[in-house]
Amino acid sequence: MNARVLPYVLIAPVTLFLCVFFLYPFFLVAQQAFTTGNGFTMDNFREVVSYWKFPISLRNTFLLALAVVPVQLALSLLMATMVNNMKRGRDLVLYVWTIPLGISDLAAGIIWLAIFEQSGFLNSMLYGLGVVDQPASFLSYQNMTVVFIAIMLAEIWRATAIMLVIIVAGIGLIPKEYYEAAEVFGASPWKRFVKITLPLLRPSLQTALILRVVLAFEVFAVVAALGGSIFPVLMEQIYENQFNLQNGGTAAALALIVLAISISFTLVILRALRVPKGATI
Amino acid sequence: MAVIEIKNVAKRFGEYQALQDINLTIEDQEFMVLLGASGCGKSTLLRIICGLETATEGEVWIGGKRVDHLPPKDRGISMVFQNYAVFPHLTVFENIAFGLRMKKLPDDEVTRRVERTAGLMHIDQLLQRYSGELSGGQRQRVAVARALAMEPDVILMDEPLSNLDALLRMEMRAELKGVLAESNTTAIYVTHDQVEAMSMADRISVMHKGEIVQAASPIEVYRNPAAEFVAGFIGNPPMNFLPAAPAGSGQWHVAGQVIEGPQVDRALRFAVRPEDVRPAETGLTAVARIVEPLGAHLLVTCDIEGEMFRAVLDSDLAIRSGDKLILAPQPDRVRWFDPETTKAVA
Ligand SMILES: Nc1ncnc2c1ncn2[C@@H]1O[C@H](COP(=O)(O)OP(=O)(O)OP(=O)(O)O)[C@@H](O)[C@H]1O
Ligand SMILES: [Mg+2]
């Protein structure tokens, strides 16, 4: 076959797949968001943004992402470094740490609910140890901080592994010789981490952070299980609009807002962790 | 003052004995060359001296202090790695400055040293480039500059010029030697290249299969090889060997000829360098097999009683393949080896 045509023929199936299952639905959602009964309009956006729960859910989503992602980043770097320095049992530890990845987020939320609810493990334990006189209701309006911490813990437990896996792979790719050179030229272990590991890990960090940040803005099931309606987040608002209020237009508008947030953060991460021009990593 | 003493060092990787019985003292400001075939343990020895590898047995002393348990940075050394290890995420400037920054030297001092060493290595035009934008030889010079910029007591160089073209290598060799002599640095320099070894070394240590066979001045190693391995490894073409049978009272039968030699009563091997034979009336009877004119000389590969024998002769001689030659060895250049131990016999 003609060498100029062949590449296009080869990518045609993928292109078709992407168009049918990604681009087309995206256009449908966009159309839904920007129309009501009569042509182009921003009404849907105006409506969702002016709803009283919108600022709260926006704030909650951001707060959660801000609280969770840095902790996960630090944790996964620490865990990856540990795994990488292990001589034996490395695979076993990695498997154990990635188990939460195989659990659906709703199930994860329910597991942590079982710990924190009034008749849950934490209460039984505190009661059994005599720390409290009667089981406390942690996950309530009165205890917003506890609710937040419970959600944070559940999210960290559930989704750190996804960053870990990417970072372990990335660290494994850094040649040992750079560490040896750095060591000979006087870099302490911490300096080696900062001056060699982190810069050479930039591509992996980009991927891991983008993936994790985008997922953080989509947080839903864990929050629903632990916080219910007392801790509204953006995704929960989409669900609310689509299924309880039966308003596809506002749900679509919210979805586009989440998309816009995700894209902006992706761009910020790409820019912040970019590899300088000419450097080959 | 940085004398390096290596005492009874051995290194095993699992079952594999990479180094054994290494005893070597490198004097302050000496330029020691480690010469040996690929896989004989040169890099392993350097890595033990700089602390990236721990010896299975033995001790390493630098400047009168035992350093076995010190981390590399506390040994006062810097190193040029065989695989360069030039950091890909830093510019050439920052690569050379890496160790200086770790020592927290002031910025102007860093700049001064980087520019000076980059100038010496002819890479001052490349300071803002990244390693991915350099050729192999340029990267190698960055590695050398990075080590020199530290102004260390001891510098370890693992084939630092292997990737340069012949002309540049010759220039860099002289440059490097000059810088090191000026800076009072003790240097250990690994190379495969015997010309490099000969021309740069104060002393050469010839390594073979994890052992040091001989450590002596270049001329000594060349003239009086301590073992057959050294004789065969150094010199191009290498030394010739012929079997010798005792003929009593220091006389030896070599290829039907009687030659004076050492007073021992077992079979030895006679050895002479190709350039130390001359055509004469009496001597070893040889048949020329291959004649290669090399300009200044004629390299004749001949056959003496079934043994291969090379002679470097005057290029004016008209010798053709198949010709019969009588080659007389220069008596004071003849050496003798014990075939059992392969060591030299006086
Ligand atoms: N980490 C290691 N594990 C096992 N064997 C090793 C290790 N490092 C080196 N060796 C072995 O030790 C021997 C000496 O290796 P070394 O790198 O010191 O050789 P070298 O003399 O520097 O060779 P070259 O001139 O090719 O660089 C080799 O046979 C090598 O296979
Ligand atoms: Mg080597």
What Rg, from alpha-carbon coordinates, does chain A have? 23
The residue that leads in pLDDT, B54 or B181, is B54
Q: What percent of chain A has pLDDT over 70?
A: 100
| Phi, psi (rounded to 5 degrees) for A250 | -70, -35
Range 173-232 of A in CB contact (< 8 A) with B: 175, 177-178, 180-187, 191, 195-196, 199-200, 202
Question: How much distance in Å is there from the Cα of A245 to the middle of ligand 1?
Answer: 71
Question: What is the C-alpha to C-alpha distance for residues B153 and B151, in angstroms, rounded to an integer?
Answer: 7
Integer Cα distance of A134 and A129 in angstroms = 11
- Nearest ligand 1 atom to alpha carbon B37: 25
Distance CA A45, CA A259 (A): 14
Find the CB nearest B132 among A182, A183, A278. A278
Q: Is B35 in the pocket of ligand 1 (CB under 6 A)?
A: no
What are φ and ψ of residue A130, in 5° steps? 80, 15
Confidence at residue A131, expressed as pLDDT on a 0 to 100 scale: 82
Q: In chain B, what are the domains?
A: 4-233 (3.40.50.300), 240-337 (2.40.50.140)
Contact criterion met (CB below 8 Å) for B95 and A182? no
Q: How far is the CA of A142 from the centre of ligand 2 (A)?
A: 68
B77 touches chain A (CB under 8 A): yes
A249: tokens are 């237009």
Q: Where in chain B does DSSP place strands (E)?
A: 4-13, 16-26, 31-36, 57-62, 65-66, 77-80, 154-158, 186-191, 203-208, 211-216, 240-246, 251-254, 257-260, 268-272, 277-293, 297-304, 307-314, 324-329, 335-337, 344-345
pTM of the model: 0.87
Instruction: Report pLDDT for A130.
Output: 82
| Segment B305-324, tens digit of pLDDT | 999 999 999 988 889 999 99
B13 φ, ψ (degrees, to nearest 5):
-105, 95
> B298 near B313, Cβ under 8 Å?
yes
Ligand number, closest to the Cα atom of B54 = 1
Question: Which 8-state DSSP code applies to residue B276?
Answer: G
Residues of A in contact with B71 (CB under 8 A): 183
pLDDT of residue A37: 76
- Residue A101 pLDDT grade (very low, low, confident, very high; cuts 50, 70, 90): confident
Nearest residue by C-alpha to atom 14 in ligand 1: B41
Is the Cβ pair A276, B130 closer than 8 Å? yes
A87 touches chain B (CB under 8 A): no
Q: For A198, name the nearest residue in chain B, comparing CA atoms only.
A: B89
| Alpha carbon separation from A202 to A131, A142, A273, B2 (Å, rounded) | 46, 42, 6, 40
Q: What pLDDT digit, counting tens, does each position of A195-206 carry?
A: 999 999 999 999
- What average pLDDT score do residues A73-84 get? 94
Nearest to B83, CA basis, from B42, B139, B165: B139
| B38 within ligand 1 shell (Cβ under 6 A) | yes
Residue B132 is classified by DSSP as G
* Contact status of A26 with chain B (Cβ, < 8 Å): no
Q: How far apart are CA B148 and CA B130, in angstroms?
A: 19
Average pLDDT, integer, range B9-17: 95
CATH 1.10.3720.10, applies to A53-272: yes
pLDDT-based confidence at residue B182 (cuts at 50, 70, 90): confident
Question: Other CB atoms closer than 10 Å to residue B135's CB: what's the count?
Answer: 11
Which tokens sit at B304? 């003496």
Give residue B85's pLDDT. 94
Q: Which of B62, B84, B89 best tests the A interface by mutation, with the highest count of A CBs <10 A?
A: B89
pLDDT at A145: 87
Q: Give the rounded percent of residues in chain B with a pLDDT score beyond 70.
A: 100
Q: Is the CB of B83 less than 8 angstroms away from the CB of A177?
A: yes
Taking 90 as the threshold, does the pLDDT of residue B34 lie above it? yes
Q: What is the number of the ligand closest to the CA of B192?
A: 1
**Crossing angle for the helix pair A105-116 and A144-172, nearest 10 degrees?**
130
The answer to whether the CB atoms of A178 and B85 lie below 8 A apart is yes
Q: Is B16 in the pocket of ligand 1 (CB under 6 A)?
A: yes
Q: Which two tokens stand for residue A245?
A: 């209020």
What does the mean pLDDT of chain B come to?
92
Nearest CA in chain B to A200: B89
Average the pLDDT over each of A4-18, A117-131, A220-234, B163-177 and give the range with the smallest value: A117-131
- Among A174, A177, A185, most B C-beta atoms within 10 A, so best to mutate, is A185
Q: Residue B154 has which token pair?
A: 């001891």
The helix or strand, by DSSP H or E, that contains position A63, with its residue range, turns out to be helix A53-85
What is the arithmetic mean of pLDDT over B286-303? 92
Model ipTM value: 0.88
SS3 B3: coil
What's the N-to-C CA distance of chain B in angstroms?
36
Q: Is the C-beta atom of B22 inside 6 A of ligand 1?
A: no
Closest CA to B23 of B43, B2, B38, B45: B45
pLDDT above 80 for A38 = no
Distance CA B165, CA B168 (A): 6
Distances in Å between the Cα of B34 and the Cα atoms of B12, B30, B190, B215 are 20, 13, 5, 9
**Ligand 1 atom 11: the closest Cα is on which residue?**
B18
The alpha carbon of residue B195 and the mean position of all alpha carbons in its chain are separated, in whole angstroms, by: 8
Return d(Cα A41, Cα A43) in angstroms, integer. 5
* Partner-chain contact A279 B52, CB within 8 Å: no
Report residue A252's pLDDT band, with 50, 70 and 90 as the boundaries: very high
- The string of DSSP codes covering B5-45 is EEEEEEEEETTEEEEEEEEEEE-TT-EEEEEE-TTSSHHHH
Mean pLDDT, chain A, whole residue set: 90
In the predicted model, what is the mean pLDDT of residues A173-192? Answer: 95
pLDDT-derived band at B1, boundaries 50, 70, 90 = low
Position B5 pLDDT exceeds 70: yes
For chain B, say whether A279 makes contact (Cβ under 8 Å): yes
B191-216: average pLDDT: 93
Distances (CA, A) of A279 to A103, B58, B131: 39, 42, 7
Q: Quick one: tokens of A186?
A: 């006087």
Of A173-187, B60-74, B169-183, which gets the smallest average pLDDT?
Answer: B169-183
Confidence of residue A85 (pLDDT cuts 50, 70, 90): confident
Asked if pLDDT for residue B248 goes beyond 90, the answer is no
Residues 6+ apart with CB under 8 A from B271: B228, B231, B239, B240, B241, B242, B334, B335, B336, B337
Tokens at residue B328, please? 């007389």
Q: Is B15 in the pocket of ligand 1 (CB under 6 A)?
A: no
pLDDT at B158 exceeding the cut of 90: yes
* Average of per-residue pLDDT across A232-247: 91
- Name the pLDDT band for A229 (thresholds 50, 70, 90): confident
* Res B249: pLDDT: 82
